[in-house]
Amino acid sequence: MTTLREKVDSRAVAERLDELGQLRSLSALNEKVVLLRLAGRLDDAWVIANEAVRQARFSGDREMALGARIRRAQVQQYQGKYPAALQELGLCVEEAQTHEWGALEAAATLSRGKVYFETREYEAALADFKSSVFLMERLGASIDQLEASLVAVAVVESLLGGTAPSPELSAPSAGTSAGSASPAAEPASADQRSIGTSSLGQSPS
């Protein structure tokens, strides 16, 4: 089965989670959400994601709150709660557009495309993936940052064209260095490069 979900280094993820321990700063919570999701600990990820959203809203920073909501919707995607994830990500895209938060719009759009992909709504997925590429290019993203979106476009175009995706078109790996600024995040994806970094209105963890 073709998938666009990240490949993870389980050991690195576990080590980083141990390092974070009981930290409850917003940056730590955001990082934990990503790590727990990638580790498959979805119930824990959901609890922390809700805590991060509450804390971000309490801070009064709407940009950070939107980033936390995108992360929470990604957890819903992994839980298979596709309608809820699509609804939330659609609202996130609209809010990002309203405030002209380009990185957040790209992140939410790419994430929504992945939900469409998993529900086999390939036309909608392709539209979102292409939009995320456009948004990221407009922000001056490097080819490495664009890689995940470009791979997603190629995979969906192959499926729509009735051809098997090339072996080279595999899901990107999550970061191999769990202690990096965006640990266990897709090095080339908008949703993971921006989620957990300053482009989502917070400092790198």
Cα–Cα distance measured from residue 197 to residue 199, given in angstroms and rounded to the nearest whole number: 5
Question: pLDDT tens digit string along 5-57?
Answer: 888 899 999 999 999 999 999 999 999 999 999 999 999 999 999 999 999 99
- Quick check: is 4 in a domain? no
Report the CATH number that the domain containing residue 22 is assigned in CATH.
1.25.40.10
The answer to whether residue 39 sits within a structural domain is: yes
The answer to whether position 205 is within a domain reads no
For the chain, how many structural domains are there in total?
1
Domain that holds residue 172: 10-200
CB atoms within 10 A of CB 120: 9
Contact 23, 15 (CB under 8 A): no
Higher-pLDDT residue of 1 and 150 is 150
Asked if residue 36 is part of any domain, the answer here is yes
pLDDT digits (tens, 9 = 90+) for 105-119: 999 999 999 999 999
- Is the model's pTM score more than 0.85? no
Residue 131 lies in a domain: yes
Domain presence at residue 5: no
